[in-house]
């Protein structure tokens, strides 16, 4: 055997199909694309799941599965400047503690969400007793400077529906007893 006699095995290299080269080639005229229509055109390849513009199946079905938004913490946020203005307007009583319930009662927010968060924007001149779930460092400093106090309450780590079943049933039975 010599180097110039070396060949690939028969059928190892398949030659490219040449389309549109006459009826005798078997791939003439329509070049194996069938007849007319979108798929017969040059740019007729549509993505998987495309249904011609109608609302596709994957959008018609409901969304299911894990989503991090189920676990986010959303606070009812209030700035110190807003609290001061509400005290001056008489909508908030400075002698009573400022809580989520008092903020809702004053009409500043409609929902309590996961608790009250105090932010340090604005000036606080009134001595206030604030109970909140979270606060910024500047807000804590300004409340202390005004002579008030800020108490942070610990938020519940687990949301009720994500508690183990035994804890969930015990918690709901306690709530039911308290409601009676």
pLDDT, residue 167, reads 60
For residue 3, the model assigns a pLDDT of 95
**How many angstroms separate the CA atoms of 170 and 6, rounded?**
82
This model's pTM is above 0.85? no
Q: Rounded to a whole number, what is the largest CA-CA distance in the chain?
A: 107
Cβ count within 10 A of residue 41: 10
Please give the domain boundaries of the chain with CATH numbers for all domains. 75-152 (3.100.10.10)
Q: How far apart are CA 138 and CA 150, in angstroms?
A: 12
Q: Mean pLDDT, consecutive 10-residue segments, the chain of 180 residues?
A: 92 91 92 90 88 93 87 92 95 94 93 92 95 95 95 67 57 68
């Amino acid at each position: 055997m010599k180097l110039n006699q070396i060949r690939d095995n028969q059928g190892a290299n398949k030659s490219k199909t040449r389309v549109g080269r006459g009826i005798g080639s078997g791939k003439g005229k329509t070049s194996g694309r069938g007849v007319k229509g979108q798929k017969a055109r040059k740019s007729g390849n549509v993505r998987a799941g495309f249904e011609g513009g109608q609302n596709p199946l994957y959008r018609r079905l409901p969304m299911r599965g894990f989503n991090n938004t189920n676990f986010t913490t959303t606070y009812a946020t209030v700035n110190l400047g807003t609290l001061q203005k509400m005290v001056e307007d008489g909508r908030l009583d400075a002698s009573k503690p400022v809580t989520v319930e008092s903020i809702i009662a004053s009409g500043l927010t409609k929902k309590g969400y996961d608790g009250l968060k105090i932010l340090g924007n604005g000036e606080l001149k009134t001595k206030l007793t604030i109970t909140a779930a979270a606060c910024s460092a500047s807000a804590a400093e300004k409340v202390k400077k005004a002579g008030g106090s800020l108490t942070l309450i610990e938020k519940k780590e687990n949301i009720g529906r994500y508690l183990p079943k035994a804890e969930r049933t015990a918690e709901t039975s306690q709530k039911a007893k308290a409601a009676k």
